[in-house]
Amino acid sequence: MSSFCKSGCGGQTPNTRANYCDGVHRLGLLLNDRNLVNKADINTRYITNHLDSTGRFGTKLSDRWSRWPYASFNRNFMVNYELTQDPAIIKMLQKHYLTFTAKDFADDLELANVEELCWLYGITKDKRLIEMAEEAYQLFKTNIEYRNRAGADMVFASDKAPNHHGVVYLELIKIPAILYSYTGKKEYLSEAVNGIKIMEKYDLLVSGLPSSTEHFQGISELSGTETCNTATFPYTYGYFLRITGDATLGDKIEKAVFNGGIGTITKDFKAHQYFSSPNQVIATSTSNPYGHNPARMAFMPGHDVECCTGNVNRFMPYYVEQMWLSAPGGGLVAALFGPSTVQTKVGKSDSPLGISEETNYPFSETINFRFLTKDKISFPFYIRIPEWCVNPQILVNGIPVSAKLHPGTFYKLKRTFSTGDIITLKIPMAVRTSNWPGNGIAVERGPLVYSLAVDATKSVMKGYEKSTKEFPAWELYPVSDWNYALDAGGKMEVKKTEITGYPWDEGNSPVKIEVQAKRIPGWELNRVYDEKWNLNVERTPAFPAQTTNNGPTENLELVPYGSTLLRLTVFPKLTK
What is the residue-wise DSSP string for 65-101?
T-SHHHHHHHHHHHHHHHHH--HHHHHHHHHHHTTS-
Residues 436 and 568 reside in one and the same domain = yes
For residue 554, what are the β-bridge partners? Answer: 517
Residues 441 and 563 reside in one and the same domain = yes
Q: Give residue-wise pLDDT tens across range 244-268.
A: 999 999 999 999 999 999 999 999 9
Percent of the chain whose predicted confidence (pLDDT) is above 90:
91
Q: Has residue 309 been placed in a domain?
A: no
Residues 471 and 507 reside in one and the same domain = yes
Number of domains forming the structure of the chain: 3
Task: Answer yes or no: is pLDDT of 11 > 60.
Answer: no
Burial class (CB in 10 A: 0-12, 13-18, 19+), 24: buried
Closest CA to 451 of 489, 486, 478: 486
Residues 477 and 411 reside in one and the same domain = no
Task: Answer yes or no: is pLDDT of 1 > 70.
Answer: no
Task: Answer yes or no: is pLDDT of 7 > 70.
Answer: no
Residues 532 and 518 reside in one and the same domain = yes
Domain at 371, CATH number:
2.60.120
Among 12-21, 73-82, 553-562, name the one with the lowest average pLDDT.
12-21
Q: What is the mean pLDDT of residues 494-501?
A: 93
Task: Please check whether residue 389 is in contact with residue 417, taking contact to mean a CB–CB distance below 8 angstroms.
Answer: no
Residues 375 and 472 reside in one and the same domain = no
Give phi and psi for 195, each to the nearest 5: -60, -40
Q: Give residue-wise pLDDT tens across range 298-326.
A: 999 999 999 999 999 999 999 999 999 99
Q: Give residue-wise pLDDT tens across range 198-244.
A: 999 999 999 999 999 999 999 999 999 999 999 999 999 999 999 99
Closest CA to 447 of 279, 234, 283: 234
pLDDT for the residue 533: 84
Q: How far apart are CA 458 and CA 270, in angstroms?
A: 14
Residues 411 and 459 reside in one and the same domain = no
Q: How far apart are CA 6 and CA 309, in angstroms?
A: 18
Q: How far apart are CA 193 and CA 354, in angstroms?
A: 34
Task: Answer yes or no: is pLDDT of 376 > 50.
Answer: yes
Q: What is the mean pLDDT of residues 271-300?
A: 97
Q: Give residue-wise pLDDT tens across range 162-194.
A: 999 999 999 999 999 999 999 999 999 999 999
Q: Has residue 369 been placed in a domain?
A: yes
Residue 336: how many other CB atoms lie within 10 Å? 25
Residue finishing a domain among 410, 426, 442: 426
Residue finishing a domain among 426, 450, 473: 426
pLDDT for the residue 65: 76
Closest CA to 114 of 136, 99, 94, 98: 136
Q: Write down the mean pLDDT value for the chain.
A: 94
Residues 474 and 496 reside in one and the same domain = yes
Residues 394 and 460 reside in one and the same domain = no
Q: Has residue 217 been placed in a domain?
A: no
Residue finishing a domain among 392, 426, 460: 426
Q: Give residue-wise pLDDT tens across range 283-293.
A: 999 999 999 99
Task: Answer yes or no: is pLDDT of 4 > 80.
Answer: no
Q: Has residue 307 been placed in a domain?
A: no
Residues 419 and 438 reside in one and the same domain = no
Where in the sequence is the domain holding 42, given as residue range(s)?
1-99
Residue 542 carries which DSSP code?
P
Closest CA to 361 of 384, 391, 331: 384
Q: How far apart are CA 504 and CA 258, in angstroms?
A: 9
Amino acid at 383: I
Task: Answer yes or no: is pLDDT of 101 > 90.
Answer: yes
pLDDT for the residue 16: 86
ω into residue 214 within 30 of 0, thus cis? yes
Q: Has residue 219 been placed in a domain?
A: no
Q: What is the mean pLDDT of residues 566-575?
A: 97
ω into residue 362 within 30 of 0, thus cis? yes
Q: Has residue 360 been placed in a domain?
A: yes
DSSP three-state, residue 28: helix
Task: Answer yes or no: is pLDDT of 5 > 90.
Answer: no
Q: Has residue 456 been placed in a domain?
A: yes
pLDDT for the residue 94: 98
Closest CA to 549 of 525, 529, 527, 571: 571
Distances 191 to 141, 208, 444 between C-alpha atoms, Å:
11, 22, 31
Residues 356 and 466 reside in one and the same domain = no
pLDDT for the residue 12: 52
Residues 547 and 479 reside in one and the same domain = yes
pLDDT for the residue 345: 96
Task: Answer yes or no: is pLDDT of 3 > 80.
Answer: no
What's the start-to-end Cα distance of the chain, in Å?
A: 69
The set of long-range contacts for 94-98, using a CB threshold of 8 Å and a minimum separation of 24, is 94/120, 94/124, 94/126, 94/129, 95/54, 95/55, 96/51, 96/55, 96/56, 96/57, 97/129, 97/132, 98/55, 98/128, 98/129
Q: Has residue 289 been placed in a domain?
A: no
Task: Please check whether residue 101 is in contact with residue 66, taking contact to mean a CB–CB distance below 8 angstroms.
Answer: no
